[in-house]
């Protein structure tokens, strides 16, 4: 879709936005627009302006002006959605609504363990805040950049590493500016002064939260997150797996451990050998004599995976028993298991910062894997022509399925000249979320096209097996065309009721 507003109408909108939120907070220089329209893969979308509102009221005014002028708005928070579109709108002819100035931690309830934030609040900011507040609670963090937005992650139904790592399942009181500029709060927030507004995901009547996640039906300007407690005891169970059969047995064992409450959802992750190898490294160009990709073991018996499970417990007795049970069950699957327990290692808590909401850019820096220069600080992958495409899948928590799907992805990536960088979070006793990165150097000719072909082929092959992504990038929004027509029809009618002029994020999760 191209913008329907005339150039004159766009200029009128820019003038009105400047009057509403300040001259300096509306950008339309060529340099600024080109930067915001650049992702980690090819994009053709043109951006008309960049707006930086400072409050929900200003967001509402931006929306009303946009409606009068017919210019769609595409909201972003920190703009760190690398591999899925960064800050680039899903379609041509939008103004970007950058919510980064709205970066206040609005409220913290240390008794109930809740944190209310604006969309510009980052994971690094939350980590620092909770440390200063006494480290009673933590927000499960992502493996991505430390300066990614918490609400941006919520808006995409992202995952974090920890007991409340299911972001959408542990958030409430979503504050949403609707396309007409009005504002609502979901759940018990429908009632003024409700005591349960920041404590319960649902109030009476239909729940609206899902309408505003992975959608363009409104702009999230605030939310309350449920935190995880920093308990008295922490243990890590690590396992090194070799061979397909070991992987299959381990996944099936993990399902039983989560099902039986020994391990918690979002507290067990798996990494393939490539993802482990590349941490803190660049591609070994010299050793490989300039050839790509790194070879993978063609024999299923030689493939390698790594597992880490985090156990948060109220006492050493409970934690020790859970860790021993988990280690014994995994060892019976034929894997090498190591348990790190605070009782034996008092420094473990500092070593395991990632298990307690700690953030760093170590993993995020892997977007520079194929570049021949070291990652800068801060990271700037779009400007440095880093190539990244993500594929985010939901799989049955079944060992055979996991082994088959990951092997298919690895082989497809190799055929197209890339390493498949794969990790997984056990989301429930029934599901595992799989994250696949295709990483390359955009400065090398034809790499963009090869990466896009690989990305699209993986999605097509898996869809034919009944396996679909649980999160999409702007390069894969057309996957929703595969949805059944009755479902698409309902979603179109809801969108038409809330946003009849496709004013908010057109093309984003539209059906």
Ranges 25-39, 250-264, 338-352: which has the least confidence: 338-352
Across residues 89-106, what is the average pLDDT? 97
Report the percent of the chain where pLDDT is more than 70: 98
CA distance 18 to 20: 5
pLDDT value for 4 = 67
Residue 8: predicted pLDDT: 87
Short-list 25, 40, 39, CA closest to 366: 40
Per-domain residue ranges of the chain: 105-229, 233-471
| pLDDT at residue 352, rounded to an integer | 74
pLDDT (0 to 100) of residue 1: 44
Averaged pLDDT for residues 505-511: 95
Q: Are 96 and 129 in contact (CB under 8 A)?
A: no
Mean pLDDT of 95-120: 98
Query: Is the pLDDT score of 5 beyond 80?
Result: no
Q: What is the mean pLDDT of residues 32-58?
A: 97
**What CATH class has 233-471?**
alpha beta
Write the pLDDT tens digit of every residue in 460-485: 999 999 999 999 999 999 999 999 99
pLDDT over 60 (residue 39): yes
**Contact status, residue 479 vs residue 468, Cβ threshold 8 Å:** yes
For position 493, what pLDDT does the model report?
96
- Can you say how many angstroms the Cα of residue 398 is from the centroid of all Cα atoms in its chain? 23
- Of the chain, the end-to-end C-alpha distance in Å amounts to 14
Q: Is the peptide bond before 378 cis (omega within 30 degrees of 0)?
A: yes
Q: pTM of the predicted model, to two decimals?
A: 0.95
Question: Residue 295 has which token pair?
Answer: 């070879």
Express each pLDDT in 354-369 by its tens digit: 888 999 898 999 999 9
Residue 321 has pLDDT above 90, yes or no: yes
Residues 213-265 have pLDDT tens digits of: 999 999 999 999 999 999 999 999 999 999 999 999 999 999 999 999 999 99
Q: pLDDT-derived band of residue 342, with 50, 70 and 90 as boundaries? A: confident
Q: Would you state the pLDDT for residue 26?
A: 98
Mean pLDDT for the chain overall: 95
Number of H helices, E strands in the chain: 12, 19
What CATH architecture is 105-229?
Answer: 2-Layer Sandwich (3.30)
Q: Is residue 3 scored above 80 in pLDDT? A: no
Question: Rounded mean pLDDT of 380-403?
Answer: 98
């Amino acid at each position: 879709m191209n913008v329907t507003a005339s150039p004159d109408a766009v200029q009128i909108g820019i003038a009105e936005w400047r009057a509403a939120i300040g001259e300096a907070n509306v950008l339309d220089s060529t340099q600024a627009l080109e930067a915001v329209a650049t992702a980690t893969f090819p994009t053709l979308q043109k951006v008309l302006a960049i707006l930086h509102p400072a409050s929900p009221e200003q967001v509402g005014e931006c929306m009303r002006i946009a409606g009068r002028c017919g210019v769609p708005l595409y909201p972003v928070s920190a703009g760190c959605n690398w591999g899925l579109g960064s800050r680039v709108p899903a379609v041509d002819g939008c103004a970007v609504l950058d919510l980064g100035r709205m970066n206040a931690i609005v409220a913290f309830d240390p008794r109930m363990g809740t944190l209310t934030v604006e969309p510009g609040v980052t994971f690094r900011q939350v980590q620092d805040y909770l440390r200063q507040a006494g480290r009673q609670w933590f927000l499960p963090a992502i493996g991505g950049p430390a300066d990614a937005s918490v609400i941006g992650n919520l808006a995409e139904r992202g995952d974090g590493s920890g007991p409340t790592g299911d972001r959408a399942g542990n958030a409430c009181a979503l504050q949403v500016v609707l396309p007409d500029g009005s504002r609502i709060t979901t759940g018990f927030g429908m009632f003024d002064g409700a005591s349960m507004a920041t404590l319960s995901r649902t109030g009476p009547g239909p729940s609206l939260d899902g309408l505003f996640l992975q959608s363009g039906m409104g702009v999230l300007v605030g939310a309350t997150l449920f935190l995880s407690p920093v308990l008295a005891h922490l243990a890590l169970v690590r396992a090194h797996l070799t061979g397909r059969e070991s992987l299959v047995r381990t996944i099936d064992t993990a399902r039983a451990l989560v099902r039986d409450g020994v391990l918690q959802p979002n507290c067990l992750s798996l990494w393939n050998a490539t993802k482990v190898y590349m941490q803190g490294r660049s591609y070994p160009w010299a050793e490989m004599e300039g050839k790509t990709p790194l070879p993978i073991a063609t024999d299923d018996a030689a493939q390698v995976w790594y597992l880490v499970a985090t156990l948060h417990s109220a006492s050493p007795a409970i934690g020790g028993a859970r860790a021993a049970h988990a280690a014994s069950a995994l060892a019976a699957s034929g894997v090498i298991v190591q348990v790190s327990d605070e009782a034996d290692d008092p420094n473990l808590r500092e070593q395991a910062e990632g298990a307690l909401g700690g953030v760093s850019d170590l993993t995020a820096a892997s977007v520079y894997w194929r570049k021949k220069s070291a990652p800068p600080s801060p990271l700037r992958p779009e400007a440095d022509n880093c190539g990244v495409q993500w594929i985010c899948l939901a799989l049955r928590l079944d060992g055979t399925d996991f082994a088959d799907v990951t092997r298919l992805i690895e082989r497809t990536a190799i055929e197209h000249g890339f390493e498949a960088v794969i990790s997984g979070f056990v989301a429930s006793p029934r599901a595992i979320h799989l994250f696949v990165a295709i990483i390359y150097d955009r400065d090398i000719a034809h790499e963009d096209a090869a990466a896009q072909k690989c990305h699209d082929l993986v999605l097509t092959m898996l869809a034919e097996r009944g396996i679909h992504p649980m999160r999409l990038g702007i390069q894969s929004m057309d996957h929703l065309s595969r949805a059944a027509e009755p479902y698409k029809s309902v979603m179109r009618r809801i969108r038409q009721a809330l946003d009849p002029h496709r004013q908010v994020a057109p093309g984003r999760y539209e059906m």
